[in-house]
Structure 1
Amino acid sequence: MGKSLFKLTSLNANGIRSAATKGVEAWIAKTRPDCICLQEVKAQAEDVEGRFEEMAGLKGHFHFAQKKGYSGVAVYTKHAPSDVIVGFGSGEFDAEGRYVELRFDTPARKFSVISCYFPSGSSGEERQQAKFRFLDAFDPHLVRLKQGRDFILCGDVNIAHSERDLKNWKGNRKNSGFLPEERAWMTKILSETGLVDVYRHLKPETTEECYTWWSNRGQAYAKNVGWRLDYHLATPPVAQLARQESIYKTERFSDHAPITVEYDFNL
């Protein structure tokens, strides 16, 4: 592999237009990632055209939701992909704009960067059941994908895996995002499916500094009553090349903080 690092950022933007008004483009230009994965872009093709097709010199590739102002994901990259995969083959969830995969394949290597936005179940039981259906459908997709290529999946997973990953874990054991079934799914992904939680690979014991999302209620951000919901999930050969991570909290572009990992390879 080459000498330079591959710098990969993930951010739930909570609306790309909203994040732009809060300075996210200038921050991307300053930090200069190779790729940035966005979730919850909350835009349609006509909103992006002529405005967000590129940001800070990076070319955007999108999966828009059919419903306006809802969901949507993107990967912005300075490297031209060999292929772009929109959706993962689920009629229900592909309509919600939750998955875009950029492939950077060479004769020597098959490698993907994925931006994925997992459903939230916090609005009620109907969406919680949808979240469970998503998890059931997504697990076999990841198994199949891992059999044929290396990848890094960046995204808002909407699950805090362990007690270290949220401040008020005792009070949230019956709440979406920390339900036993959701946490068991994460455990399965990291054990049976064999993916690596890259942040935890680099920082196995951190607590308060690991949070990437804060409620807008009750001064949660000021008091750092947060959750770790945003992940880099990688196949083991790629995860072993992770060198350093950072969660940026100096400026706020959304209710999530961007998480960046630098990997010891280049495209």
Structure 2
Amino acid sequence: MPSSPATPAKPLRIASINVNGVRAAFRKGMGDWLAGRDVDILAIQEVRASTDDLEGLLGPEWSVVHDAATAKGRAGVAIASRSTATIHRVQLGADEFDSAGRWLEADYEVNGTIVTVVSTYVHSGEADTPKQVEKYTFLDAMLARLPELAAHSDRVVVLGDLNVGHRRFDIKNWKGNVKRAGFLPEERAYFDRILGAEDDPAYNAGAGLGWVDVGRKWAGEVDGPFTWWSWRGQAFDNDTGWRIDYQLATPALAASVTNYAVDRAAAYDQRWSDHTPVVVDYAI
């Protein structure tokens, strides 16, 4: 008798979410979302809690690596996974630059392949202030690290709240934000160097450093889908949002994407963060 065809391996589901404080997010419903989403690896930003807090909320079925911010109660990035990371790294940039709570790398073995996951939280910045200088310092360090990561593994994803809308498609009210942190030409130029400029024929397909914006590749040339909305006014109800949460993948990993989703809440009062999860399936 001919042998039965092998069952395809389940895709690796990687999700990212800026929780705006993980304890508050769980009080508002994050646990229910997570229980029904079958996530394998979860990158979290703005944890704002201790490792013990995080492990207690997630439960024993999750393995957690966490890098807290130097200032207690601020920032903080984590990666939770169903399997244990083989190694993790936290330093980004020069020793004198404080990247604590904003950059966390972890390697996972998936079906005999090493997949590197980076949870990152880029500074929000503020135009013409020292906060913006700090943001550029972080982005400079990130640009220097990306080629090193690509050399380390051909399957890497950098994901999280990158706090920059790269293109006009990424912000509903882009005309009103061209002088505001998050859409400054200088910030967007960093993404040109990573992905290619908007008018480059090879944008998101080998231009720049060659990385792929999975969300834009999947959605196409359309507004959004947005991932952050202000709590104020009617921004959420009117979908006046920003797409600032990304999964940036190396070409080999991007080629394996089988699904991309933005888990936008059904209604304003069902939100548990001002961001929404970005969930991607990778066939490894």
Fold shared by both chains (TM-score > 0.5): yes
**Worse-matched range after superposition: 194-203 or 215-224:** 215-224
Are 2:274 and 1:258 equivalent residues in the alignment? no
Report Cα offsets for 1:132-158 as digits up to 9, x if no partner.
111111101111111121211111000
Match of 1:200 among 195, 203, 216: 216
Report Cα offsets for 1:33-63 as digits up to 9, x if no partner.
00110000112345446x24x3483222101
Deviation at 1:128, TM superposition (A): 0.8
Question: Is the contact between residue 59 and residue 76 of structure 1 (CA under 8 Å) also seen in structure 2?
Answer: yes
Report Cα offsets for 1:194-246 as digits up to 9, x if no partner.
110001111112215x1000112222112211000000000000000011111
CA distance 1:152–1:119, change in 2 (3 Å) = same
* Residue pairs, 1:1-267, within 5 angstroms: 3-45=9-51, 47-48=53-54, 51-52=56-57, 54-55=58-59, 57-91=61-95, 94-105=98-109, 109-122=113-126, 125-149=129-153, 150-190=155-195, 191-208=207-224, 210-250=225-265, 251-265=270-284
Q: Which has the higher contact order (CA 8 A, sep 6+)?
A: 1
Question: Is the contact between residue 41 and residue 71 of structure 1 (CA under 8 Å) also seen in structure 2?
Answer: yes
TM (norm. structure 2) is: 0.86
Residue 3 of structure 2 is matched in structure 1 by: none
- Give the 3-state SS of the residue equivalent to 2:130 in structure 1: helix
Deviation at 1:93, TM superposition (A): 5.0
Question: Is the contact between residue 63 and residue 87 of structure 1 (CA under 8 Å) also seen in structure 2?
Answer: no
Q: Flag structure 1 segments of 5+ consecutive residues without an equivalent.
A: none
- Give the 3-state SS of the residue equivalent to 2:259 in structure 1: strand
TM (norm. structure 1) is: 0.91
Report the Cα distance in structure 2 between the residues aligned to 1:26 and 1:123, rounded to whole angstroms. 38
- Give the 3-state SS of the residue equivalent to 2:237 in structure 1: helix
Q: Flag structure 2 segments of 5+ consecutive residues without an equivalent.
A: 1-6, 196-206
Q: For 1:186, give the aligned amino acid.
A: F
Q: For 1:193, give the aligned amino acid.
A: L
Question: Is the contact between residue 62 and residue 74 of structure 1 (CA under 8 Å) also seen in structure 2?
Answer: yes
- Cα RMSD after superposing both structures: 2.1
Question: Is the contact between residue 260 and residue 278 of structure 2 (CA under 8 Å) also seen in structure 1?
Answer: yes
Q: For 2:40, give the aligned amino acid.
A: D
Report the Cα distance in structure 1 between the residues aligned to 2:80 and 2:110, rounded to whole angstroms. 20
- Percentage of matched positions with identical amino acids: 37
Residue 199 of structure 2 is matched in structure 1 by: none
